Structure 1
Amino acid sequence: MASMPRLCGMLAGDAGEVAYELEFGRDDLGMAYLDVRADAPLSVTCQRSLEPFVLPVSVSSRLGLIRSEREESGLSPESEPLLVDEDGKLAMADVIEDELLLALPLVPVNPDSELPEEVTRPPSESEAGDERTENPFAVLRELKK
């Protein structure tokens, strides 16, 4: 994973390996495609507890290989477009990295984490009384008189 700098920038650590499988072919419409399947244990930071945890990510997608945006309309509905250079070369590590980046959740939350007790417990009567402060709009009420 350390060889994927954009992905590592989103992670809590770069340890681990990505298991992937690539399959090239042509669909029923004659368009070239690339099937990408990848599995990786990604170390992300839980946004609830701010602790790192390992999130298992599994990706399976079909990318339709096109050389111009005009060709996109010829892709089958289950294919996502992947723009290829005129020479037809692809950087496979970049393709896999892109798919893993797209699979990352916007807000990673560890399912085993819990909110701190001070957030989940109801306030006691003494704390509730302390929270009653002067209304900031009371001054406006006085001006209205």
Structure 2
Amino acid sequence: MVSARRSFQGSLPIAAMQRLGGALADTTGEARFELDFGRDEFGTAYLDVRVQAPLTLICQRSLEPFVLPVAVDSRLGLIRDEREESALPPGSEPLLVAEDGKLNLADVIEDELLLVLPLVPVNPDSVLPDEVVAPPPEATSGEGRSDNPFAILRELKK
């Protein structure tokens, strides 16, 4: 694939990616991908991965599902041994290839989507409930104490 500079494009159902599906609220939709194999100016084999997918996550602010459109654009340096990682050019992530030289491209796509999942998904359009953002009830001023938390200590010192 590398020597022939092969390219692939297509779509993969999100439901077919079981590891990714475990992190999602819903597995409907498909991931559109473009994969390009080649060698850079240093002779290093690479795989360019571009993926776009609508991922349904649970917002941790509102606990409602929402669709997060994600886009991946990365270059993976194909290596056969971990020692080769240091020779990769800047901007390339290592991808360890088996001794037989075969790659499961669906697994590569799934791995890249797993890496772009947010640690804490939050829908940018969500709002906090009123009881969370409501101003605190006004402190009673009849006691003559200030809002300073150390005012009590000052009174005890007297």
Asked if TM exceeds 0.5, the reply is yes
Amino acid at match of 2:107: D
1:112 aligns with 2:104: no
Q: Deviations over 1:2-33 (max 9, x none)?
A: 11000000000000000000000001110100
CA distance in 2, matches of 1:46, 1:28: 43
Q: Could you tell me the TM-score, scaled by structure 1's length? A: 0.85
Find the counterpart in structure 2 of residue 2 from structure 1: 15
Aligned partner of 1:68 among 67, 70, 81: 81
Deviation of residue 124 (structure 1)?
2.2
Which residue matches 2:31? Answer: 18
1:68-112 deviations in whole A, cap 9, x for unaligned? Answer: 011112211111000000000000000000000000110110011
Give secondary structure in 1 for the equivalent of 2:23: coil
Confirm whether residue 81 of structure 1 aligns to residue 101 of structure 2: no
Aligned residue in 2 for 1:40: 53
Task: Quote the Cα distance in structure 1 between the aligned partners of 2:59 and 2:69.
Answer: 13
In structure 1, distance between residues paired with 2:87 and 2:41: 11
Give TM-score scaled by structure 2 length: 0.78
Question: What is the one-letter code of the residue matched to 2:133?
Answer: T
- Aligned residue pairs total 127
Structure with greater proportional strand content: 2
Aligned residue for 2:54, secondary structure, equals: strand
For the pair 1:49 / 2:65, whether they are aligned, the reply is no
Q: Which residue is 1:58 aligned to? A: 71
- Give the unaligned 5+ runs of structure 1: 130-145
Write the distance in 2 (CA, Å) between the matches of 1:79 and 1:124.
Answer: 54
Partners of 1:65 and 1:124 lie apart in 2 by 60
Structure that is richer in helix per residue: 1
SS at match of 1:2: helix
Distance between the aligned counterparts of 1:82 and 1:111, measured in 2? 33
Corresponding residue number in structure 1 for 2:108: 95
SS in 1 for 2:30: coil
Of residues 122, 126, 144, the one that matches 2:135 is 122
RMSD, aligned α-carbons: 0.9
